[in-house]
């Protein structure tokens, strides 16, 4: 049997591998939402998003004065984030993300649940990709230097931007597993 024939015969197993991969990423990322450093880290995304900013109590620009660097514990910033609703929102978001991951995984056994999980994965990825438009922190800021060769703004992604752009893969994976479940439900 050739490599091409082997790959073709393994396609259904690769759909399951995609479901497992999505589940691992979603459960891991969702689980991290229960920790202070991760909840602090999503504040710029949520605060600048017209789709999500209403979940927070304070003005979208106020977070800049209360940012904790990753792993930093500044009690006055943590208190501000508590009052802002940062942690409550992060816990709810984490629970939703874990749920989506589990639904996607369950597509191995139940096509209806898998279809829902795949569509929700794609939908969540689309919302995340909007951060490329709404969140200033996703682009490298102007750090000065030679004006004739700017190395900031579009297309230069910051660490936050590189994190967000990868959701294109999650969107595609969600649509792939959703379409596989739809195909099975229609018995093609």
Sign of the alpha-carbon torsion through 144, 147, 149, 152: positive
Q: Where are the domains of the chain?
A: 11-186
Q: What is the pTM of this model?
A: 0.91
Per-residue confidence (pLDDT) for residue 147, from 0 to 100: 67
Cα atoms in the Cβ-side hemisphere of radius 13 Å centred on 124: 25
Running along the chain, 188 residues long, what does each successive block of 10 average in pLDDT?
A: 92 95 98 95 94 88 88 92 96 98 98 98 98 94 74 87 96 98 92
C-alpha distances in angstroms, 61 versus 44, 47, 98, 105, 137? 9, 8, 29, 38, 12
Per-residue confidence (pLDDT) for residue 124, from 0 to 100: 98
Per-residue confidence (pLDDT) for residue 101, from 0 to 100: 98
């Amino acid at each position: 049997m050739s490599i091409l024939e082997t790959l073709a015969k393994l396609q259904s197993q690769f759909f399951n591998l995609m479901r497992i991969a999505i589940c691992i990423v979603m459960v891991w990322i969702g689980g991290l939402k229960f920790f202070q450093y991760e909840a602090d880290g999503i504040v710029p995304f949520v605060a600048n998003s017209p789709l999500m900013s209403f979940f927070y109590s304070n003005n979208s620009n106020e977070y800049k004065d209360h940012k904790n660097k990753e792993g930093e514990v500044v009690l006055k910033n943590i208190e501000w984030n508590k009052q802002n609703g940062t942690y409550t929102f992060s816990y709810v978001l984490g629970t939703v993300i874990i749920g989506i991951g589990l639904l996607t995984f369950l597509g191995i056994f139940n096509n209806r649940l898998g279809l829902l999980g795949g569509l929700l994965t794609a939908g969540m990825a689309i919302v995340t990709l909007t951060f490329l438009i709404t969140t200033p922190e996703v682009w490298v800021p102007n750090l000065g230097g030679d004006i004739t060769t700017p190395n900031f703004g579009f297309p230069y992604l910051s660490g936050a931007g590189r994190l967000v752009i990868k959701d294109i893969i999650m969107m595609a994976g969600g649509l792939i597993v959703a379409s596989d479940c739809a195909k099975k439900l229609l018995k093609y």
